[in-house]
Amino acid sequence: MALAIKMLFNYSASSQSRALWKEFSKESAVLSICQDESTAHTEGLLHDSCPKYTHLPTHVNILPVLHTFVDDMPHLPDAQDSYPAALPARHGGLGRNRTMFLVMPRFTHTLESYLASLGRPPEVQTSCLLLLQLLNGLVHLQEHQVAHRDLKSDNLLLDTSVYPPRLVICDFGCCLADTRQGLKLPLLTDETDRGGNSMLMAPEVSTAESGPGASIDYTKADVWSAGAIAYEMFGERNPFSHGGAESRTYSDKELPTIDRWHTRYLLGEGIGRTYRLLCLALQARKWTMTNSANAIKEYKKRSAQQSSRPKAYETEPVGDAVLATTKPFYW
């Protein structure tokens, strides 16, 4: 298995190990395959001062953290071009001398780079399977009271060496995973970090008003973002990208229709309902993750009954077979 090392940019935390763990431990605590945090304890670090984050059980559509360590910020050959501001002051940057590193499995593409490399919209079968994997991961997050809060095509990694490409959700640095508050974040002031990027921030998050007793409910925020990303998966422009609709004030009439996708492909009831609600109207706030999970189970059940994939991606209508002519895919 190929590995990748994620280097976190440290602009504010002290270079002491204790300070680095306190500042950057969230992603490791949530995604580490070592539940006892043995790595941290062997270095004599006291995690009592760190927030109590929810540990997420491993899942095929969630990128795990295999190991975590702190070390000096390296000055790599392309440092001045790739991350000049994050370099320490002695190299002309604004960063600190040490930072944290996360060891993870290496994937070949982000969703964004994969779609760009195709030069055309993906096959509808492939797009449906990518969307289902994304929903599968979000079901897992919600079951364990974790909200990603920064879903975008750059934070979805693909292994394209297999068919269908395996999708995993990554970059949990902005996630909400506090064991004490679940998916509701108190919103006392406007200084509260709402997470993520404003372009794909769910309306109930971006429009929430602060005040005594106020809170933001992230229960369906991630699946709203997934609905916007689904447009990209099916070869369309994200309706909320630069110059597009404003997520805070949009109306359903501003969203592209999906009529042309149904000209030659008729999706089954479960997948079709999920797809329409996510993509056509982005009504994710009215759509539970349980419904999405049921659609996934329906697809898996039907696809498992098929024995082979058609030649050259047959494109005849498949009716209620829910794209059953594709090769079975197992999670």
Give the largest Cα separation in the chain, rounded. 64
**CATH superfamily membership of 108-305:** Transferase(Phosphotransferase) domain 1 (1.10.510.10)
What average pLDDT does the segment 38-59 reach? 63
List pLDDT tens digits, range 243-291. 778 878 887 777 776 544 443 344 444 454 445 545 443 444 444 555 5
Tell me the pLDDT tens digit for each residue of 130-186: 988 998 899 899 999 999 999 999 999 999 999 889 999 999 999 999 888 889 999
- Tens of pLDDT along 176-213? 998 888 899 999 998 888 987 888 898 889 889 999 99
Catalytic residues: 150
What confidence tens digit (pLDDT) does each residue in 76-86 have? 888 888 888 99
pLDDT at 329: 28
Residues of the chain with CATH 1.10.510.10: 108-305
Kindly report whether the global pTM for this prediction surpasses the value 0.85. no
